[in-house]
Amino acid sequence: AQSVTQLDSHVSVSEGTPVLLRCNYSSSYSPSLFWYVQHPNKGLQLLLKYTSAATLVKGINGFEAEFKKSETSFHLTKPSAHMSDAAEYFCVVMRGNDMRFGAGTRLTVKP
Amino acid sequence: DAEITQSPRHKITETGRQVTLACHQTWNHNNMFWYRQDLGHGLRLIHYSYGVQDTNKGEVSDGYSVSRSNTEDLPLTLESAASSQTSVYFCASSDRGLADTQYFGPGTRLTVL
């Protein structure tokens, strides 16, 4: 069975500083990995996905993530946080029809 | 613009009642999905459909059913609502399956008393 662990339930950064949201996964096979974002009272939106191509994946709104097989990690980063980045972020692991979401990391951005 | 809508947005019901949540998409996507979101669990897949007349069970399908009679709609039915089914429910659709970009509806908050 697959699983995903988001290592921080809440991350707080100041506007203009880097963002790091950590995700570790467990999968018996090479999985597909995703990051989704959920703004308050909204549905989820895909930020980026890894499907066994380049290990550094660039997404929307300046986010990127690096797949590290040796560390079973898929951390999400952004060089400079913006107030509009405040939201809940979900890491997702998938293999075949088995899709598992992490519990989420709430990102707060302070002015 | 294409969109995916859910109704109702909020629903309060009693234990044992049958409840149906509607999901309608105008993306013309073959693939549709239902999830529930609970604190500490992220989203969990309930049922999914890869086309008309096709339905499949997800991770947490017990107590739920779906039917797909056309491309646009995938209603989710709780046969006999239980308090454990109090949750926020999200519908999503995609062009090429689970791994493709999924477009989510705004969610339905269901409370079972």
Nearest chain B residue to A35 by CA: give it.
Answer: B101
Nearest-CB residue to A101 (from B42, B56, B106)? B42
Q: Confirm or reject contact between A97 and chain B (CB < 8 A).
A: yes
| B69, B75 contact by CB (below 8 A) | no
A45 contacts on B by Cβ (under 8 Å): 104
A41 contacts on B by Cβ (under 8 Å): 106-107
- pLDDT at position A43 is 85
Percent of chain A with pLDDT over 90: 77
Nearest-CB residue to A32 (from B90, B92, B99)? B99
- A70 CB contacts (<8 Å, ≥6 apart)? none
Compute φ and ψ for A80, nearest 5 degrees: -145, 115
d(CA A3, CA A7): 13
Nearest-CB residue to B98 (from A45, A99, A102)? A99
Token digits for A5? 């662990």
Question: Is the pLDDT score of A90 beyond 90?
Answer: yes
- Mean pLDDT of chain A, nearest integer: 93
d(CA B103, CA A43): 8
- Rounded to a whole number of angstroms, the distance from the CA of B17 to the nearest CA of chain A is 26
Q: Confirm or reject contact between A53 and chain B (CB < 8 A).
A: no
Nearest-CB residue to A99 (from B41, B45, B104)? B45
**Residue ranges of chain B with per-residue pLDDT less than 50:** none
d(CA B52, CA B32): 10
- pLDDT at position A40 is 87
Question: Is the pLDDT score of A1 beyond 80?
Answer: no
Token digits for A58? 């660039």
Percent of chain A with pLDDT over 70: 100
The model's confidence at residue A28, banded by pLDDT at 50, 70 and 90, is: confident
Comparing CA positions, the residue from A57, A59, A54, A40 lying closest to residue A104 is: A40
Q: What would the pLDDT profile of A37-87 be if each residue is shown by its tens digit?
A: 999 888 899 999 998 778 899 999 999 999 998 999 999 999 999 999 999
- pLDDT at position A2 is 84
Alpha-carbon distances of B41 from A10, A101, A104, B83, rounded to whole Å: 15, 8, 8, 17
Query: Which residues in B have their CB inside 8 Å of a CB on A?
Result: 4, 40-45, 48, 56, 59, 90, 92, 98-99, 101-107
Cross-strand pairs, B44? B36
- B105 CB contacts (<8 Å, ≥6 apart)? A43, B4, B5, B6, B23, B25, B90, B91, B92
